[in-house]
Structure 1
Amino acid sequence: MIGCELLVDISEALGIAKESTSPFGNINIIFAGDFCQLPPVKNTRLFSAVNKLTEKPSDSQTEDGQKKTKGKALWLQVTTVVLLIQSMHQAGPENQRFWELLDRLHFGKSEVVLTRPQWHNAPIITSQNAVKDALN
């Protein structure tokens, strides 16, 4: 996943390559990915709230804080979005139940009741250390 900081690096590299001061060197970019997957590593999520990009007001004066804000501004310039809503990997009637499960997980509508005894000692996997530390 691309984060705000990496988006700035990509834009600047394309600007140098194309000798342009326009975002992304004034070329068209196609972004593809799944926002429901893991967050970017050591980067700020592209869909982070603008007021959450810097922890405290003084952060906006740092190079890192400015890079986060610039990356968010670049992302907000994306004007055309195509959503793919049909899964081709799980197509077919034999995968209907699996597709429905993925859809429920995507929208946070799980039918599993975690208070049942069978889940008491189940491992919990998370992409965030703070959540892992709180649970373990």
Structure 2
Amino acid sequence: MDGAATLLKADRWSALLGAPEDEETLIRHYTLSQSELDLIQAKTAAHNQLGLAVQLCLMRHLGRSWRHAEILPPALVEFVAEQIDVASAALVEYGRREQNRREHALEALRHLGLRQADKHDLRTALIAAIAAADATDHGLPIA
């Protein structure tokens, strides 16, 4: 073992935090609101519009930003791109500048009224985790 404890198998992590591909989930969780569309349209370059749109959707649905080197499902990219009338191929350009991804992740957090967790959140997170663990002996509901 590499020294790190494995809490869940890779397929379980993917089920929890993986970007979706199915149409029902995309419609339910990846349809952009008017305020999101307004924020996205403020960007001038198509790749920045699409990148920010993807960041907003991932943050809103999965509670996380787009991870470095993460390959998103084509169905997700197409679904989001169609809503803002941008070619899905524009995302290739977006991935070339890591700073854009970081800045847009922070912009998405602010727009959604969220913030990054910090050390002051540890106690609250631990209490919630203990309560979840106490309620079941199955790992997936706890995660």
TM band (smaller chain): under 0.3
Per residue, is there more helix in 1 or in 2? 2
Q: TM-score, normalised by structure 2?
A: 0.27
- Whose radius of gyration is greater, 1 or 2? 1
Higher relative contact order (CA 8 A, sep 6+): 2
Q: TM-score, normalised by structure 1?
A: 0.28
